[in-house]
Amino acid sequence: MTVFKFDPAKSGLRKTLREYEEIALRYIWDVGDEGAGSGKTWIHVNEQLKDGKSISRASVIFYLNRMVDEGVLGFRDATGKGGHHRIYIPELDERGYQKYIVKTLYKSVAKDFPEATKEAMKEICQ
């Protein structure tokens, strides 16, 4: 189930992501297959947020888990202080995520507005 909001007035990944979400996703992309837990990701996000903003660790965890559910991120289990922890790893790179957004939007409008979607695509592709 896809759960993102699309804001055409914004640019880049902000069309679908909040500031902290973009920072978290870019961090996971940067660490690559090494992966990162929610704690390190949360610390990085709060260090990068502008204007003294902060975000809760729970918000970061919910976001990372949502990205796992969407297939954008994967995870492996690790044990540590407090038990088992998820180490998040990228399943899609930035280009893959962009394609995922476009496909998701296209499928959604094509489902609800099939004829209008076909007509609009013909106009766009001319």
Per residue of the chain (126 residues), what is the pLDDT tens digit? 566 889 999 999 999 999 999 999 999 999 999 999 999 999 999 999 988 899 999 999 999 999 999 999 999 999 877 788 999 999 999 999 999 999 999 999 999 999 999 999 999 998
At 80, which helix (H) or strand (E)? strand 73-80
Separation CA 71–CA 92 (nearest Å) = 8
For the whole model, what pTM was predicted?
0.89
Angle at the Cα of 90 from the Cα atoms of 66 and 65, rounded to 5 degrees: 15
Distance of CA 66 to the CA centre of its chain: 8
